[in-house]
Amino acid sequence: MRDEGDVDLRHHGDAEVGPGLLDFAVNVRAGTPPAWLAERVAASLAGLAAYPDPRPARAAVARRHGRDPGGVLLTAGAAEAFVLLARVLRPRRAVVVHPQFTEPEAALRAAGHPVERVLLAPPRFALDPAAVPADADLVMVGNPTNPTSVLHPAAALAALARPGRVLVVDEAFADCVPGEPESLAGRADVPGLVVVRSLTKTWGLAGLRAGYLLADPDLVARLAAAQPLWSVSTPALAATEACCEPRALAEADAWARRLAADRAALARDLTAAGLHVTPGAAASFLLVRAEAGERLRHRLRERGVAVRRGDTFPGLGPDWLRVAVRDRRTALRLTRTLAELRLGSPRGDAAPR
């Protein structure tokens, strides 16, 4: 377990893309937001003179997950949820399970809390509930996890819950998984559970800032009291409501099924190119390890392909790269570039010197 702030927790994939680069670094679904959703957001602009009313969107989220509206807090993206949790909770022993998205730890540190890390081990990055100290009163974990793409069983996560502990499960990528079998979003019976969700990834709304958390109504009330008034804008509320409708859920599910096929094909291609693909991927990206991975990342970039560095995630090093799953045609441009690099290598390997 490590507790030092030794990596740049505030580095994100969007810093690695730019004009002329083919984007395999950012995890937002390509071609989003869909036109129908952009129209709903645009239509909401007619109501901008009024302050936002979160009630219809909160009710829609509650219906979608079978929860009581009092157990729903709408937030300006998952990022606001992490900040609210960090500012409101007073953990004596906060543990973040890594490698995972770094903002939960960054928010805890910014609020003045010491953070301990539990590092899951490659190649499978499996969650062992026993690795989390018994007296940790705040535990944060992602499912499926960014950047490993690993989906932990709901039972393993629920085994982390206990009275006196807040268990935060970041489900920003949960809708990548058809049917969401390991999601805890509908579980009001797990003590101390907070599920954080985001509209950013599947719906292409990073710029809108829309997400929510699901928790015990008492905790929701405490978090709501700390939230800036009208934090979630009218267009974000319109999007949240729209994305809970059956048509949106069906679209997300159909996409998740296509994603699974594209992901499997990409994993085969990357393995054939000599990269080690983390097994059990369930989200919209793959975590890979390559010999001389940092150099490979630079060489891909020189050839117009951006993949995300892995070394800013605690527990990983410069040989680790995160690759977004794209449609087959786009993915083939990556595998072709990898093949060219391999041919140009003096040793003929995937990570030429």
Ligand X SMILES: Cc1ncc(COP(=O)(O)O)c(C=O)c1O
Give the binding site for ligand X (CB under 6 A).
77-79, 101, 142, 146, 170, 172, 198, 200, 206, 211
277 contacts 267 by C-beta, under 8 angstroms: yes
d(CA 145, CA 170): 8
Q: CB of residue 170 vs ligand X: minimum separation in angstroms?
A: 5
d(CA 133, CA 139): 10
| Complex with ligand X: residue 187 or 201, whichever CB lies closer | 201
Q: CB of residue 302 vs ligand X: minimum separation in angstroms?
A: 26
- Residue 303: how many other CB atoms lie within 10 Å: 16
Q: Which of 294, 353, 327 minimizes the C-alpha distance to 16?
A: 294
Share in percent of the chain as helix, strand, coil (round to 5): 40, 15, 45
d(CA 84, CA 135): 22
Q: CB of residue 5 vs ligand X: minimum separation in angstroms?
A: 19
Q: CB of residue 56 vs ligand X: minimum separation in angstroms?
A: 20
Computed over its alpha carbons, how large is the radius of gyration of the chain? 20
| Complex with ligand X: residue 22 or 172, whichever CB lies closer | 172
d(CA 267, CA 227): 41
Q: Which of 77, 142, 126 minimizes the C-alpha distance to 283?
A: 142
Q: CB of residue 325 vs ligand X: minimum separation in angstroms?
A: 14
| Complex with ligand X: residue 104 or 293, whichever CB lies closer | 104
Phi and psi based region of residue 317 (left: phi greater than 0; alpha: psi -120 to 50; beta: remaining): beta
Residue 147 preceded by cis peptide, ω within 30: yes
| Complex with ligand X: residue 176 or 270, whichever CB lies closer | 176
| Complex with ligand X: residue 102 or 337, whichever CB lies closer | 102
Q: CB of residue 80 vs ligand X: minimum separation in angstroms?
A: 7
Q: CB of residue 49 vs ligand X: minimum separation in angstroms?
A: 26
Provide CB contacts within 8 A for 261, sequence distance 6+.
none
Q: CB of residue 336 vs ligand X: minimum separation in angstroms?
A: 28
| Complex with ligand X: residue 314 or 350, whichever CB lies closer | 314
Q: CB of residue 26 vs ligand X: minimum separation in angstroms?
A: 8
| Complex with ligand X: residue 211 or 293, whichever CB lies closer | 211
| Complex with ligand X: residue 146 or 183, whichever CB lies closer | 146
Instruction: State the residue number with the nearest CB to ligand X.
Output: 77
Q: What is the DSSP string of 168-193?
A: EEE-TTGGGSTT-TT--TT-TTSTTE
| Complex with ligand X: residue 10 or 336, whichever CB lies closer | 10
Return the C-alpha torsion angle 83, 85, 86, 90, nearest 10.
Answer: 160
214 contacts 75 by C-beta, under 8 angstroms: no
